[in-house]
Amino acid sequence: MVKEVLDKTELEIYVQESIPNVNHTKLKLHYHVTPPIGWMNAPNGFLFYKDQYHLFYQFYPYDTQWGPMHWGHVVSPDLVTWRLLPTALRPGNEQCFSGSATDNEGIMVLFYTAHEPINTPPYYSESQNMAFSFDGINFQKYKDNPVSLYAPKGSVEFRDPKIWKNGNYWYVVLGSKSADYRGMALLYRSKNMTSWQFKSVLAKSCGQVGHMWENPDFFEINGKFILLISPKGIINKGDRFKNTYQTGYVIGSFDYDTCKFKPETYFQEIDFGHDFYATQTTEHNGKRYLIAWFGMWDSPHPEDAEGWLGAMTLVRELDLIGSRLLMKPVEAITKLRQKFILEGEFKHNAILKFEKTAEIIVNIKLDMDIELEIVGAYGGDQITVRWNATNGKVMVVRSGDVRQVKWRPLDAVIWRIFLDASSLELFCGDGEVVFSSRIYPSGDWRVTNRSRQSLFVRAYTLKKSIYNEQSERTDSKVEKSLIGKNNKVNLDLTNFVEQY
């Protein structure tokens, strides 16, 4: 195991030499973004830049345990096919915690939290830093980091900046917690990205929505503003908040002149599965897309024995209908359909067999109970997916651990189930209810219809769409600028931003 942070070239050589040891392991996902090696958690910057979607993520290449944070980097033309790029940020004296990315007139800017140890309580400091790139591949940290952006008095933690532009101003929202241990989202504004003015507390926990809010996001859909947050420390209430670490949203109105957000709903969960946290969104061509860490703190991750840990969910397209934020798979996911398995009657106790991947579309009759049993050919974790016609709830049970929620279809009365080598995602209807859960089977997938009646089903296998090794990367636009090219930039970013 490497115990020190390698320089840029040495790190890429180390990663590429290590990839063959983990790329074809039993649990490695085929069409979800995973780390090439080592540890992955929260997504960071997510944006469309120079005809490609870029996604960054928290990355520790030297172990499958959390360590000094880097920013990993992948790129996609369509949000389903992803290719690895060189590591974007490496820690120096600071760890490169979560943040976001933006396109400033052709210059990609990464905005991130620097986490550094200090000798006095709480024994760390958190400040906001920048890095920038002219090609979206090679990054230079801003030489005058940290930027002038400070926590208001009483804020204890202060991280995960999400940056965007409106009119002539840049805005950033950060997650924090107050001195009385209540999560909150803080809003700042700037003309030049380097000097920031505190504008408002966008929202603050009443005491029931966690003691710290991480990975905040703030955006507009259909004339309403969405505050998306990942609170720590929410207390379980019946079927709600079964995960200690939650992600959800509040809908409201916002005035850019006063920088005040007026909530119109309570905090609502966005995903009801076992493993979903720390979201990032981006907007392109009028559509808002979301991705999240397909994991959960304090949960077991058996893939660590294979030399990697962590994954990203499928990218979802968002829509807002009334007070419901909907998530559905991006349209391009259909390009991954490979082998046609079934279209027609799926009889009681019949079994569908898949090697590693599947998409299963189930027509639902709301007046009939439905139950699908999903397990590996030789055992391992078992997931049961149920519809209870009496109480109107969808239930996902993983080895006895129950998640359930009421489902009120808006239009389509179907389920779309996505299975990868060690994951399940269930989209109900038009995305009114979604479950994301990691599952660790032994052997290939077996899906059994335990309903009392036959079901109408369409089923496909899905092809691999994640490419980490150099030999797999065929996109010439990406390949030209990979390892070894390092633009040396020594500019004052304040002047640089104003100039461009």
- State the total domains in the chain: 2
Average pLDDT of the residues in 272-296: 98
pLDDT at 153 over 90: no
Q: Within 13 Å of residue 494, how many CA atoms lie on the same side as its CB?
A: 10
Within this chain, do residues 297 and 350 fall inside the same structural domain, yes or no?
A: no
The pLDDT assigned to 487 comes to: 40
The pLDDT assigned to 3 comes to: 52
Bridge partners of 201, per DSSP, are 186
Within this chain, do residues 144 and 89 fall inside the same structural domain, yes or no?
A: yes
pLDDT digit string, tens, across residues 305-364: 999 999 999 999 999 999 999 999 999 999 999 999 999 999 999 999 999 999 999 999
Q: What is the rounded distance in angstroms from the CA atom of residue 64 to the CA atom of residue 38?
A: 5
The pLDDT assigned to 468 comes to: 84
Within this chain, do residues 82 and 221 fall inside the same structural domain, yes or no?
A: yes
Q: Which of 329, 354, 381 is the last residue of a domain?
A: 329
Within this chain, do residues 281 and 373 fall inside the same structural domain, yes or no?
A: no
Domain enclosing residue 343, as ranges = 337-467
pLDDT at 474 over 50: no
Average pLDDT of the residues in 77-88: 98
Name every residue whose Cβ is closer than 8 Å to that of residue 410 and which is 6 or more positions away in sequence: 321, 324, 326, 429, 430, 432
Question: Which helix (H) or strand (E) covers residue 494, if one does?
Answer: helix 493-499
Q: Which of 329, 359, 375 is the last residue of a domain?
A: 329
Q: Is residue 270 part of a domain?
A: yes
Q: How far is CA 418 from the centre of its chain?
A: 17
Within this chain, do residues 290 and 343 fall inside the same structural domain, yes or no?
A: no
Q: Is residue 2 part of a domain?
A: no
Confidence of residue 491 (pLDDT cuts 50, 70, 90): very low
* Token pair 């994954």 in the structure block, residue: 311
Within this chain, do residues 296 and 382 fall inside the same structural domain, yes or no?
A: no
Strand 466-467 and strand 370-376: the pairing is: unpaired
Residue 410 burial (C-beta neighbours within 10 Å; 0-12, 13-18, 19+): middle
pLDDT digit string, tens, across residues 196-224: 999 999 999 999 999 999 999 999 999 99
Within this chain, do residues 320 and 351 fall inside the same structural domain, yes or no?
A: no
Within this chain, do residues 257 and 348 fall inside the same structural domain, yes or no?
A: no
pLDDT digit string, tens, across residues 422-442: 999 999 999 999 999 999 999
Average pLDDT of the residues in 150-167: 92
pLDDT at 66 over 90: yes
Q: Which of 329, 349, 372 is the last residue of a domain?
A: 329
pLDDT at 476 over 90: no
Average pLDDT of the residues in 75-90: 98
Q: How many helices (H) and strands (E) does the chain have?
A: 3, 35
pLDDT at 289 over 50: yes
The pLDDT assigned to 494 comes to: 44
Within this chain, do residues 310 and 376 fall inside the same structural domain, yes or no?
A: no
Question: Of 248 and 235, which is predicted with more confidence?
Answer: 248
> What's the whole-number average pLDDT of the chain?
93
The highest-confidence range among 154-168, 423-437, 461-475, by mean pLDDT, is 423-437
Q: Is residue 485 part of a domain?
A: no
The amino acid at residue 151 is: A
pLDDT at 484 over 60: no
Question: Which helix (H) or strand (E) covers residue 266, if one does?
Answer: none
The pLDDT assigned to 6 comes to: 84
